[in-house]
Amino acid sequence: MIQFFFENIDTIPLSDATKNWLINLITNEQKKAGEINYVFCDDEYLLKVNQDFLQHDYYTDIITFDYVKGKTIAGDIFVSLPRISENAESHSKDFNLELHRVLAHGILHLCGYKDKTEEEIKEMRNKEDYYLNIL
């Protein structure tokens, strides 16, 4: 089950089509959807999560906490909407496209994809692009 929550930020509309797209992504990766919570927030909220849980003192657009068991995908995914908006603007992208890229990014992490090395980053981007093209 995929749920959307909002902390310290106004809600934005997210359709059932978005949830279905994410579930299809999970299925295409040969996994099953478990309990997945997206927490949309502002930059300061996500910075505090980054500091408190990861001991990182910088802004980011997404933090994924992995509770995966076997092939069942589960986790809490924190997303900064202002950071997505800023990234979309600086890369001349549509906000909704960038939002969906980040939503997919979190799920891909739960599916086992990493983004620490150049090769991992390239694979992650290719997967994001693939799923955005079938959105």
Residues belonging to the binding site for Zn(2+) are 105, 109, 115
Torsion on CA atoms 111, 135, 15, 80, rounded to nearest 10: 60
User: Buried b / exposed e across 50-64, counting CB within 10 Å, b at 16+?
Assistant: beeeeeeeeebbbbb
Q: Which residues are annotated as a binding site?
A: 105, 109, 115
Contact in structure between 94 and 121 (CB atoms under 8 Å): no
10 CB-near residues (< 8 Å, 6+ apart): none
Length of the chain: 135
